[in-house]
């Protein structure tokens, strides 16, 4: 599969890597479009991250494979990813009030 990585400060490299095997709880998505946002630009110009960091965390595409534990998604479904990884704890004020993108653990 193709990935865009930061090779050096201000240098982006497109390369092929081995497609990983999915686990029973994974979904494989063929990316059809992907946003590049401000944080990606900051990575390219060395504001944070490290060389080899992959770019693009706002993709959309079509499911091509689902793990055995997945029941709510199917091959052929059109999907996008939610790139915010909040704690979703009932003890977290932001998460428990629907403000997951403001979670301090995000």
Check residue 52 and give its pLDDT: 61
**Residue 87 contacts by C-beta under 8 Å, 6 or more apart in sequence?**
95, 103, 105, 106
Question: Dmax over Cα atoms in the chain, in whole Å?
Answer: 42
Beta-bridged to residue 45, according to DSSP, are: none
Element (H, E) at 62: strand 58-66
Per-residue pLDDT of the chain (106 residues; tens, 9 = 90+): 888 888 888 888 899 999 999 999 999 999 999 888 887 888 888 776 666 677 887 889 999 999 999 999 999 999 998 766 777 888 999 889 988 878 877 6
Q: Do residues 29 and 61 make contact, with C-beta atoms less than 8 angstroms apart? A: yes
- Cβ-count burial 74-98 (b if 16+ within 10 Å, e if not): eeeeeeeeeeeebeeeeebebbeee
pTM, to two decimals: 0.69
Please give the Cα distance from 10 to 87 (Å, whole number): 33
């Amino acid at each position: 599969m193709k990935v865009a990585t930061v090779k050096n400060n201000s240098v982006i490299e497109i390369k092929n890597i081995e497609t990983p095997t999915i686990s029973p709880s994974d979904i494989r998505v063929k990316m059809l479009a992907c946003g590049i946002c401000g944080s990606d630009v900051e990575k390219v110009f060395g504001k944070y991250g490290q060389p080899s960091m992959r770019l693009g965390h706002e993709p959309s595409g079509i499911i091509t494979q689902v793990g055995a534990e997945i029941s709510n998604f199917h091959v052929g479904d059109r999907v996008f990813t939610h790139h915010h990884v909040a704690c979703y704890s009932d003890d977290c004020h932001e998460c428990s009030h629907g403000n997951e993108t403001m979670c301090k653990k995000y």
